[in-house]
Amino acid sequence: MPARGTARKATSRAGFGLAWTTLLALLLAAAPSLAAEFEAGVARVRITPPTPSWMSGYAARTRPSDGVLQDLWAKALAVRDGEGHRVVIVSTDLIGLSRVISTDVVARVGERFGLDSSQILLNSSHTHCGPLVWQNLPVLLDLDAEDERAVETYGRGLADKLVGLVGAALDDLAPARLAVGHGAVGFAVNRRVRTPEGYRIGVNPDGPVDHDVPVLKVTAPDGSVRAVLFGYACHNTTLRGDVYQINGDYAGQAQETLERDHPGVTALFLMLCGGDQNPHPREKLSLARRHGRALAAEVSRLMGASLHPVRPPIRTASEEVRLEFAVHTRGLFEEESRHSDPHRRRRASLMLAAYDRGDPVRDVPYPVQAVRFGPDLTFLALGGEVVVDYALRSKRDYPDENLVVVGYSHDVMCYIPSRRVLREEGYEAVESMIYYGQPGRFAESVEETIFAAIRRVMEKAGADRSNPSAASVR
């Protein structure tokens, strides 16, 4: 018969073993549930146009593309939480989507997959070395009927591909963990330079910028990385209009580098509020590669760092508001129709046709969307070429939110100037409206109209607006 002390030790060891076994069982049971807080799916489809194709971004181009330096892609990340709430984020290596394409895609996605407009985020990288997109920048180039049919055919095929892409990402859903972090790279520079003749495009090292690089990492329960979603606020204009080969500029280079360095990972780029930001330096392919590698290196660094876990639930909200243009008259466009600039004449033709229909263009529909992952991450998606002031003000207005402000989303209908930029005038506020086929500058109300919509969608998505800033960037 063992001694009493020995029996107590044996009982203690048995109790400890039972407790450890129980704890281990609980941990093992908890692991799948932690992994199953989300399901994620990824998919991609090539959207490289046929060669030759007319390219977008620069009015100075005089002929179609003559080659492909780099394939263009549309990629999708689908996420579903444990309650069944879903969102699909789509990135495209394009100058921008038009309203006719984005609304078609959203409608068909709703019919086929049961997603509403708040549950799909469509973003464009704004590469200036991609194809013309149907009904985007409608007076940029003077195309003949055959070329117009080719652009429309590509646009319709693009919409079909995007709908199929969303379905493929949803079919790929599997248990996943999400984590978020932020870094920075510094090649973006404010391009609005004050001169005696007004604001011109150049290099303004003292202008407002946002060098943030947000990164969302998606991993399988075994720790392998499936996808990385990252963004930056800078025009994809390292290459100029004398380049006639299709490519994704620095954003394409960054995605390609990440996928080469991390086999099996899908890299998706989001264009943030880079409407008045340019890469610096620029004008050489080697510089596009350098900027892309710098961005990819920062994303890779964050992928290997300790990131903040992202938790459910997913909450989404969206709405469409009307942005008013400054007052204009028919006589203004009658005069412009005789202008020496062909772009102005083409814009005048569009505006006079609208007057003839009895429906002059007084405003434009504008999409605003919020996608919130629990208390850990919120995407605020805005249409158009949004200047950086909107990101800076949004982050001040929502200091307790981990906020990523995404421009170039859904419909890229024109530049979206802040009140400050509108008052300063220059390309983003005035001249660019010609190429977009809009009647002219916005009314003074544009910034406050957008922020009223931002407040509504953020509230619907459950965002916290404690300690809001009352003043916008001036």
- Beta bridge partner(s), residue 76: 43, 90
Specify the pTM: 0.91
CB 125 within 8 A of CB 94: yes
For the chain, residues with pLDDT lower than 50 are 1-36, 467-474
Write down the residue that tokens 């972090």 correspond to. Answer: 181
The residues near 262 (Cβ < 8 Å, ≥ 6 apart) are 225, 228, 300, 303
Distance between CA atoms of 215 and 228, rounded to whole angstroms?
7
* The residue type at 430: V
Contacts of 317 (CB under 8 A, 6+ apart): 118, 369, 370, 456, 457, 458, 460, 461
Q: How many CA atoms does the CB half-sphere of 187 hold within 13 Å?
A: 23
